[in-house]
């Protein structure tokens, strides 16, 4: 036994020694660094791939839930449809009154119609914050309000002016039974305006030759690059006076004997603060929509019937925006991969 051990020891001593690299020495070798780098980047790529698939499946789930919700929503769903009990319905008239704007005739008439049709509506309120706009849109809304009011004699229609209810916005307001405002609200501006610029002298000084071809002797009326003609101005003034007359007729019909018909300023285009407007008969009192709902109407719950984008449009827009953001993020991640 001892002899065998001695023989093995001697054989081991005769073998040449092989250097063994330490961990730290091996890590400094180029091939080791390359392998380590590849392993790290492969791991990062796998993690990013996993995140991308996770985002993809989350959006699939979101799309499924969106479609499911859309199928469950009634086709006649509208703002205020889920309210219970008597309420004060209101429709916002905000910003410029014009085709394509938020405050256009179609939107406002739709909102007021839905408010009147709701069985729980105690009263309808126009919540106005607008400097005016198109006389055609304002007149269309005014006529629709008068019609709806006649069709729903048991449901009062009020207008509440917030910051401003001027020009075409006041045209709309007089379609209501009563008008209220804050004492600092801007009310009035019962008038019509048209404006522009004239550049005939400027183009002469710049050496610009004006070339204009028309069929019809008045087709170039009030062209800003031609000298102003008295006949053109007189024609425009006739047009403005006619529209102004329509405005005055609407105010007198809507306000009746409450307006101070002896005042020479009411229809001059001037505007006043709420308390002055009340003294002139342009509004019926100082109040806001909450006080009006509580004290005058007796239904404190406010329900907004202002039309907005339908539910499907809103959901699809939100989904599209989120999907675009996610795809952009995924594109960035793909470019970042080694």
Residues 158 and 282 in one domain: yes
pLDDT at 271: 95
Mean pLDDT of 180-193: 95
At residue 240, does pLDDT exceed 90?
yes
Residues 200 and 223 in one domain: yes
Q: Which residue has the tokens 């256009």?
A: 104
The residue among 325 and 245 whose pLDDT is bigger is 245
Do the domain assignments include residue 12?
Answer: no
Mean pLDDT of 113-123: 95
Do the domain assignments include residue 5?
Answer: no
* Residue 17 binned pLDDT confidence (cut-offs 50, 70, 90): very low
pLDDT at 99: 94
Residues 108 and 236 in one domain: yes
Do the domain assignments include residue 97?
Answer: yes
pLDDT at 211: 84
Q: Could you give the CA distance from residue 174 to residue 159 in angstroms, rounded to a whole number? A: 8
Best-predicted range by mean pLDDT (22-26, 175-179, 258-262):
175-179
At residue 26, does pLDDT exceed 80?
no
Do the domain assignments include residue 335?
Answer: yes
Do the domain assignments include residue 20?
Answer: no
Do the domain assignments include residue 45?
Answer: yes
User: In this predicted model, what pLDDT tens digit does every residue of 275-315 receive, in sequence order?
Assistant: 999 999 999 999 999 999 999 999 999 999 999 855 455 45
Do the domain assignments include residue 2?
Answer: no
Q: pLDDT averaged over the chain?
A: 81
Residues 199 and 288 in one domain: yes
User: In this predicted model, what pLDDT tens digit does every residue of 71-84 receive, in sequence order?
Assistant: 555 444 455 555 55
Q: Which CATH number goes with the domain that contains 192?
A: 3.90.226.10
Domain extent, residue 136, equals: 87-307
List the end-to-end C-alpha distance of the chain, in Å, as a whole number. 61
Residues 192 and 287 in one domain: yes
Among 99-103, 144-148, 211-215, the least confident range: 211-215
Do the domain assignments include residue 177?
Answer: yes
pLDDT cut 90: percent of the chain above it: 51
């Amino acid at each position: 036994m001892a002899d065998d051990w001695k023989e093995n020891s001697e054989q081991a001593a005769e073998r040449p020694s092989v250097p063994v690299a330490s961990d730290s020495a091996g890590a400094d070798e180029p091939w080791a660094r390359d392998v380590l780098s590849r392993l790290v980047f492969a791991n990062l790529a796998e993690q990013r791939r996993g995140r991308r698939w996770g985002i993809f499946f989350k959006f699939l789930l979101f799309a499924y839930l969106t479609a499911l919700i859309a199928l469950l929503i009634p086709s006649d769903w509208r703002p205020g449809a889920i309210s219970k009990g008597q309420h004060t319905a209101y429709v916002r008239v905000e910003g410029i009154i014009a085709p394509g704007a938020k405050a256009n005739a179609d939107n406002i008439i739709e909102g007021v119609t839905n408010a009147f049709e709701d069985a729980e509506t105690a009263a309808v309120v126009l919540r106005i914050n607008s400097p005016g706009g198109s006389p055609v849109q304002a007149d269309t809304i005014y006529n629709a309000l008068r019609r709806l009011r006649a069709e729903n004699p048991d449901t009062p229609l009020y207008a509440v002016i917030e910051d401003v209810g001027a020009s075409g916005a006041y045209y709309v307001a007089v379609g209501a039974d009563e008008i209220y405002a804050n004492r600092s609200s801007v009310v009035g501006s019962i008038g019509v305006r048209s404006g522009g610029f004239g550049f005939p002298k400027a183009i002469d000084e710049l050496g610009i030759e004006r070339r204009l071809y028309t069929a019809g002797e008045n087709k170039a009326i009030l062209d800003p690059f031609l000298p102003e003609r008295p006949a053109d101005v007189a024609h425009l003034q006739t047009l403005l006076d006619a529209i102004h007359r329509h405005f005055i007729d609407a105010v007198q019909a809507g306000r009746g004997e409450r307006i101070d018909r002896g005042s020479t300023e009411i229809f001059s285009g001037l505007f006043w603060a709420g308390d002055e407007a009340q003294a002139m008969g342009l509004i019926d009192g100082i109040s806001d929509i909450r006080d009006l709902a509580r004290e005058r109407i007796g239904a404190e719950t406010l329900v907004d019937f202002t039309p907005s984008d339908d539910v499907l449009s809103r959901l699809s827009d939100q989904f599209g925006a989120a999907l675009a953001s996610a795809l952009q993020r995924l594109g960035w991640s793909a470019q970042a991969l080694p």
